[in-house]
Structures are given as structure tokens and as C-alpha cells.
């Protein structure tokens, strides 16, 4: 069985598992990695770039090595039996893919947020928001909650689905696990605050590099699929080209601007985080997003995810 076919099959099965099961409610491996990273931080933390580089190399390198070792173990245990070896690698790739994907839970949470806002349950929506992003929900009204959720769905469609599938297609199990480690560390320490401005520099920059390709793949797919959300590809393309570079993130700007253009809404503006307030540039044209726009964003996100896994499987199949 060709390695490309094995990788493609594993990616497709893992994606199907994510669609069927979503994230594990208990004992999620990513949560376990986060706990290990926090414990290591107690040892490695110093207010300096070098300490942050060491923290990143140890954790990401360890995860990539673990993925490579697991793949070698499957191949060694299967011996010369090509069918058994192929099935073992498919199962390993599928398990790794399911572990690192978060698209189904993202869409499910987006719909739940829309339900709460439609019911007028602002407090419930505020309680749910931290599962989507790091905004301060206490400062947000219904429109602010809808905008925060929509921006998170736009960014995490890339981060939680397109990017891991991209790296899985390119580098197999080590790519899947390594990307999720990079993205998780960025979410943990990649902040520009007093504690992490220097220590978290390596995590933030590594995440930027890892997402350069995937974010633009996500932008292209979002642009092409704009009609799924009632939008026009030309509007999504125009918002991307005009506004993405204004965003402080080289990758989130692409995901959010193309989504804003596809939906015909304007994202950005005053953004309240627990560590302070940021004034984000406007992305897209049109009104501030409301609950129906959030539902359209979820629909578009799910369509982007499906096309992404098909593209990833095609890329994997092209590998020898």
C-alpha cells in the first residue's frame, strides 16, 4: 500500500471521527500536553528569549519525536506484511488526526452561542465565550458576543482544521502532532504582556511560520465557497487583499478578512481582552455582525473544513 494512500486514508478517517465524536470530553491528549507544558514552564521560565526558545524546542521537538517513534513502531511491528503495515499506519494517522482536529467542536460551540443569543440569554453566552476565545465576556453585549464568536470561528477554522490537515498531508503523524503542539503553546504563552513578551516570543513566531501556508489555503477556500454563506467570492477576495495586512497577525488577518468579505460584514474595532484593550483595524465592509451572520459563519466554516480534508487527502495521495 502506497504511503500517500495510507496518509490520505488516515486523514479522511480521522476527519470522519471528529465529525462523529467531536473532542473527547475527558482525557483529551491536547489538554494533557497543556498540563505538561505548564509544569515544564515552572522549570524553564525566565524573562528572556533564550528560555522561551528552549521551552519551545523541548516541547515541540518532543512531540514530533513521539510521532516519528510511533510511526516507526507501527512499521517495525508489521514487518514485511504490507497490508498489516498499511492498516496500522492508517489507524495511527486517523487517531492522530482526530486528536488534533477541533472543527466539529468549534462549529457546535458557534451554533450554541447563536442559540443563546437568539434566546436573549446574555449571561449564558458570556459563560460560553471563553471556550471560543480570550475576550473579556463581562464587557460585551449581544452584538459584541456575536462578533467575538464569529472572529474566533474565522481564525480557528484555519487553526483547528485547515492547518493540522495541511501539516498532516505534508509530514504525516509528526506533522499533525507537531503543529498542534506549536499552536497550543502559542495559545498558552504567545502573548505580548509583561510575563510573556520575551519568553513567549519563540512560541508566537513559530506559530506564525507554521500557519503562513495554511492560513492562505484557508483564505482561498473561504473565498471560493463564499456562496455557501450567501456571499460573493469577489467580495471575499477584495476584503482579503485590502484589509488582511492591517491585522497584527499575518495569518489571522487572512482568515478573518476573507470571512468578513464572504459574509458581507465588518469585523475588528475595539477588542477587550483580560490583559487589556486593543483597537483592531476594520476588516470587510458592511454592518457589525449579528446572530444570523454567526450562523452563516458556522455553515461556511463547516464547508471549508470538508474541502480542506479533501484537498489534504489529494496532496497526501500525490506523495510517493
What's the domain range around 123?
3-318
Q: Closest by alpha carbon to 37, among 199, 184, 225, 146? A: 184
Contact yes or no for 31/185 (Cβ under 8 A):
no
Domain count, the chain: 1
CA distance 202 to 109: 30
Across 60-93, b (16+ Cβ under 10 Å) vs e yields bebbbeebbebbeebeeebeeeeeebbbbbbebb
The Cα 29–Cα 24 span in angstroms is: 9
Dist. CA 104–CA 111, nearest whole Å: 11
Confidence of residue 23 (pLDDT cuts 50, 70, 90): confident
Judge whether residue 268 has pLDDT over 80: yes
Q: Facing residues of 273 across strands? A: 135, 276
**Rounded to whole angstroms, how far apart are CA atoms 105 and 123?**
21
* Short-list 227, 224, 236, 225, CA closest to 285: 236
Give percent of the chain above pLDDT 90: 75
List pLDDT tens digits, range 98-150: 999 999 999 999 999 999 999 999 999 999 999 888 777 888 888 889 999 99
Chain centroid, CA 120 distance in Å: 29
What digits encode the pLDDT tens for the residues 68-106? 999 898 877 765 566 556 788 999 999 999 999 999 999
Q: Rounded mean pLDDT of the chain?
A: 91
Task: Please give the torsion angle defined by the CA atoms of residues 89, 94, 97 and 102, in that order, rounded to the nearest 10 degrees.
Answer: -170
What are the tens digits of pLDDT across the range 27-57?
Answer: 789 999 999 999 999 999 999 999 999 999 9
Q: Are 157 and 214 contacting, i.e. CB atoms less than 8 angstroms apart? A: no
Using alpha carbons only, what angle is made at residue 189 by residues 60 and 126, rounded to the nearest 5 degrees? 120
Adjacent-strand bridge partners of 270? 279
Q: Is it the case that residue 267 has pLDDT exceeding 80?
A: yes
Amino acid at each position: 500500500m502506497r504511503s500517500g494512500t495510507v496518509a490520505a486514508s488516515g486523514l479522511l478517517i480521522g476527519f470522519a471521527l471528529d465529525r462523529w465524536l467531536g473532542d473527547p470530553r475527558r482525557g483529551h491528549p491536547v489538554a494533557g500536553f497543556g498540563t505538561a507544558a505548564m509544569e515544564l514552564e515552572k522549570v524553564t521560565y525566565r524573562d528572556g528569549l533564550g528560555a522561551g526558545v528552549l521551552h519551545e524546542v523541548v516541547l515541540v521537538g518532543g512531540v514530533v519525536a513521539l510521532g516519528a517513534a510511533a510511526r516507526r513502531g507501527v512499521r517495525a511491528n508489521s514487518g514485511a506484511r504490507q497490508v498489516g503495515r498499511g492498516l496500522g499506519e492508517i489507524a495511527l494517522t486517523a487517531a492522530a488526526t482526530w486528536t488534533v482536529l477541533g472543527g466539529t467542536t468549534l462549529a457546535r460551540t458557534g451554533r450554541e452561542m447563536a442559540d443563546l443569543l437568539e434566546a436573549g440569554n446574555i449571561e449564558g453566552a458570556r459563560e460560553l465565550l471563553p471556550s471560543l476565545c480570550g475576550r473579556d465576556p463581562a464587557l460585551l453585549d449581544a452584538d459584541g458576543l456575536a462578533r467575538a464568536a464569529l472572529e474566533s470561528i474565522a481564525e480557528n477554522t484555519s487553526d483547528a482544521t485547515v492547518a493540522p490537515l495541511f501539516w498532516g498531508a505534508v509530514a504525516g503523524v509528526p506533522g499533525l502532532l507537531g503543529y498542534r503542539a506549536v499552536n497550543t503553546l502559542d495559545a498558552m504563552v504567545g502573548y505580548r504582556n509583561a510575563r510573556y513578551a520575551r519568553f513567549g516570543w519563540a512560541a508566537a513566531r513559530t506559530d506564525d511560520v507554521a500557519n503562513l501556508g495554511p492560513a492562505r489555503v484557508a483564505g482561498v477556500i473561504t473565498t471560493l465557497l463564499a456562496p455557501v454563506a450567501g456571499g460573493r467570492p469577489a467580495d471575499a477576495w477584495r476584503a482579503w487583499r485590502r484589509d488582511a495586512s492591517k491585522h497584527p497577525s499575518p495569518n489571522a488577518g487572512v482568515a478573518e478578512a476573507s470571512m468578513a468579505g464572504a459574509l458581507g460584514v465588518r469585523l475588528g474595532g475595539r477588542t477587550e481582552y483580560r490583559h487589556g484593550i486593543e483597537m483592531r483595524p476594520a476588516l470587510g465592509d458592511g454592518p457589525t455582525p449579528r446572530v444570523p451572520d454567526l450562523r452563516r459563519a458556522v455553515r461556511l466554516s463547516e464547508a471549508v473544513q470538508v474541502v480542506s480534508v479533501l484537498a489534504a487527502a489529494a496532496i497526501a495521495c500525490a506523495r510517493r
